[in-house]
């Protein structure tokens, strides 16, 4: 469990092995990703960099939820279509993940926008930490490379590869009713049983 907590905080990027300030190094890397991976590769003019960075920050503050595209467009003084383009660019740069309901995809409005991995949450706004959000971010990130992850019908619920139901939940929450058609991916536990598995195991998928 200690290793898992460390990974959530600072284990996603390999430079955590270096004897440097991890958060500072991560912020520099994020700047490079926006300035090079987005501006250069997508051929966007430098004058729009501040809008993209502000959008990224606002999305991070909102946490994993459906973005209000109209409000975001007003906040960065641009059009709704441009906001959606910037969100797609941030996803292509692996700074965020865009989660849709089953059968939907870009350019439709996402069901949820979340940071690409939990280390980014600590680097951007560590005061506003929410364990459920951290754990869901880890879950989606762990499956994203090789699976299609879609939004389920309730908070914490996801559909994987269009047909498998998963729920990310706290093992210490006794109020959750177990359903046979869902796999419960639980944090705050080391072991699993039946269709309840510990969340940290998902890290072995990549």
* pLDDT score for 98: 96
- pLDDT of residue 14 exceeding 70, the answer is yes
- pLDDT of residue 157 exceeding 70, the answer is yes
Q: Which helix (H) or strand (E) holds 184?
A: strand 182-187
Domain of 41, in residue numbers: 2-205
Q: Which helix (H) or strand (E) holds 160?
A: strand 157-160
Instruction: Please state the rounded mean pLDDT for residues 9-26.
Output: 89
Report d(CA 51, CA 168) in Å as an integer: 33
* pLDDT score for 17: 86
CA angle 170, 174, 179 (to 5 degrees): 85
The long-range contacts involving 162-166, CB below 8 angstroms and separated by at least 24 positions, are 162/102, 162/103, 166/139
Predicted TM-score of the model (pTM): 0.91
Instruction: Please state the rounded mean pLDDT for residues 48-58.
Output: 94
CA distances, 198 to each of 1, 117, 136, 178, 193 (Å): 10, 18, 13, 15, 9
Arithmetic mean of pLDDT over the chain? 92
- Percentage of residues in the chain with pLDDT exceeding 70? 99
- pLDDT of residue 134 exceeding 90, the answer is yes
Distance from the Cα of residue 151 to its chain's centroid: 12
Beta strand pairing call for 96-101 and 112-115? antiparallel
CA angle 105, 106, 107 (to 5 degrees): 130
Count of domains for the chain: 1
- pLDDT of residue 156 exceeding 80, the answer is yes
Report d(CA 116, CA 105) in Å as an integer: 17
For residue range 96-127, what is the model confidence (pLDDT) as tens digits? 999 999 988 888 889 999 999 999 999 887 76
Report d(CA 25, CA 139) in Å as an integer: 24
* pLDDT score for 51: 95
Instruction: Please state the rounded mean pLDDT for residues 139-164.
Output: 93
Q: Which residues in 44-129 belong to E strands, given as ranges? A: 96-101, 112-115
């Amino acid at each position: 469990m200690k290793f898992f907590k460390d990974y959530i905080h600072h284990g996603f990027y390999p430079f955590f092995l270096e004897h440097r300030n991890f958060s500072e190094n991560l912020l520099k890397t994020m700047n490079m990703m926006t300035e090079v991976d987005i501006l250069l590769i997508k051929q966007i003019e430098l004058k729009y960099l501040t809008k993209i960075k502000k959008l990224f920050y606002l999305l991070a503050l909102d946490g994993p939820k459906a973005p209000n595209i109209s409000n975001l467009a007003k906040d960065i003084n641009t059009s709704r279509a441009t906001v959606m383009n910037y969100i797609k660019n941030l996803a292509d740069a692996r700074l965020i993940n865009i989660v849709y309901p089953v059968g939907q995809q870009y350019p439709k409005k996402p069901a949820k926008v979340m940071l690409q991995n939990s280390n980014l949450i600590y680097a951007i706004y560590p005061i506003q930490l929410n364990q459920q959000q951290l754990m869901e971010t880890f879950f989606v990130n762990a499956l994203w490379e090789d699976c299609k992850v879609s939004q389920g019908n309730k908070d914490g619920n996801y559909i994987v590869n269009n047909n498998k139901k998963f729920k990310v939940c706290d093992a210490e929450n006794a109020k959750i009713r177990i359903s046979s058609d869902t796999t419960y991916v639980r944090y705050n536990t080391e072991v699993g049983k039946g269709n309840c598995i510990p969340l940290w195991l998902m890290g072995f998928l990549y």
